[in-house]
């Protein structure tokens, strides 16, 4: 169980709220407010209950103070989403910048502190830096699941010094993810795509323990096809991992898991948008061709699997979705999953940068049960790893 805002008394308190403002900025202005919109309910709730909201975030990878990576442009962007004023402090710790700004706050007001990564103590989780941050608050609320896999000062460190609670966006994420992997409505299927098996070994291992059906897509499917003895031509393939791929397939068979690989593919001789392409059986790829998407029979097979499962976890696209027409496999499966979700026949949870981009491109994301914008944290959760920023929220 996780401590949530339902258990927190914020009235009159200084509430440090960790958010993730690591979003695109163009010409000094925030270009995508999605993450701000997700944390807005938490900020409003604390402010409306009379708490003083003090926002903490990093931005980029600065090596010390850098005006180009300042959070200053975020204060007006947050204010625009919340439709209420947001002040800004020129630092995130110390006198006079941070402490004076916090002391001047009245109940219900909102303050954004400067980039936590301007200080080396943030990423080191340095106890002295943690103490300086914690000195600014009475309560800590983490509403940034996307950085929960990092044991940084403003993510995990403060949680050991102040009463700590999950914000509403964090709560939604944890409830959605816990439901699909800890207590799913079965049958449970997972789509694991992306370029390489090597980056997803932990994911595949954990999913095989949890799911009834594992669907493999993207470049990593090529490694499994090659492990079955198929020629994959010039396709992206980790030939050194063929023994590992065979072990994974043997493990799936031993556990009675359904293991779904492409049965046909869209191939081309060049990696480019609208490159001349053809559909071939999975075992008939030419030596000068590369697999860039799953074929129509594979799409049909995956969609038939989705029609008989009750829960789906999705991480990774099926093909080179950023290049037309090699986005068709991902788009059509996404559309099928979205339609089944809208009809109440399946629970769908998806996450990871490429996955979210693909679902948005397909116009399917808004119809999924839950789409995580967390990237690395989402992947580590699926891998079964404890996340430092989540562990400090557990009710002892």
**Active-site residue list:** 35, 196, 353, 376
Which pairing describes strands 277-281 and 290-294: parallel, antiparallel, or unpaired? Answer: unpaired
Q: Whole-angstrom Cα distance, residue 223 to residue 246?
A: 10
d(CA 90, CA 344): 48
Residue-wise burial string across 48-77, b where 16 or more C-beta atoms lie within 10 A, e elsewhere = ebebbbbbbbbbeebeeeeeebbbebbbeb
Judge whether 336 and 303 are in contact, CB under 8 Å.
Answer: yes
Task: Order across the sheet with 188-192: list the strands.
Answer: 258-260, 213-216, 188-192, 311-315, 347-351, 370-372
Nearest to 353 by CA among 35, 37, 84: 35
């Amino acid at each position: 169980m996780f401590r949530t805002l339902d258990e927190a008394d914020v009235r009159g308190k200084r509430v440090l709220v960790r958010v993730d403002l690591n979003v695109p900025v163009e010409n000094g202005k925030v270009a995508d407010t999605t993450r701000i919109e997700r944390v807005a309910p938490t900020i409003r709730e604390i402010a409306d209950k009379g708490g003083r909201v003090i926002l903490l975030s990093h931005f980029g990878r600065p090596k010390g103070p850098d005006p180009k990576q300042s959070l200053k442009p975020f204060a007006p962007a947050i204010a625009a989403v919340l439709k209420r004023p947001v002040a800004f402090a020129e630092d995130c710790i110390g006198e006079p910048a941070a402490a004076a700004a916090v002391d001047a706050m009245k109940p219900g007001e909102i303050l954004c502190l400067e980039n936590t990564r301007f200080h080396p103590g943030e990423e080191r989780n340095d106890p002295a830096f943690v103490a300086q941050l914690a000195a600014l608050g009475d309560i800590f609320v983490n509403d940034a699941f996307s950085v929960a896999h990092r044991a940084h000062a403003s993510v995990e460190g403060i949680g050991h010094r102040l009463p700590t609670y999950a914000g509403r966006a964090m709560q939604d994420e944890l409830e959605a993810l816990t439901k699909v992997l800890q207590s799913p409505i079965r049958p449970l299927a997972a789509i694991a795509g992306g370029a390489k098996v090597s980056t997803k070994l932990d994911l595949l291992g954990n999913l095989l323990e949890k799911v009834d059906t594992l669907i493999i897509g993207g470049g990593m499917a090529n490694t499994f096809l090659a492990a079955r003895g198929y020629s994959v031509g010039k396709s992206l393939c980790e030939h050194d991992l063929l023994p590992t791929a065979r072990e994974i397939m043997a493990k799936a068979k031993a556990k009675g898991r359904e293991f779904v690989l492409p049965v046909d593919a869209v191939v081309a001789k060049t990696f480019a948008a609208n490159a001349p392409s053809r559909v071939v059986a999975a075992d008939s790829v030419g030596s000068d061709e590369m697999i860039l998407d799953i074929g129509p029979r594979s799409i049909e097979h995956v969609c038939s699997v989705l029609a008989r499962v009750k829960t789906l976890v999705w991480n990774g696209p099926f093909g080179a979705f950023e290049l037309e027409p090699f986005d068709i496999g991902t788009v059509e499966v996404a559309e099928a999953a979205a339609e089944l979700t809208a009809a109440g026949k399946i629970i769908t949870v998806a996450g990871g940068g490429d996955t979210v981009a693909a679902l948005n491109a397909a116009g399917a994301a808004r119809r999924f049960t839950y789409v995580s914008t967390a990237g690395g944290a989402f992947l580590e959760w699926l891998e079964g790893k404890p996340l430092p920023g989540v562990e400090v929220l557990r009710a002892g």
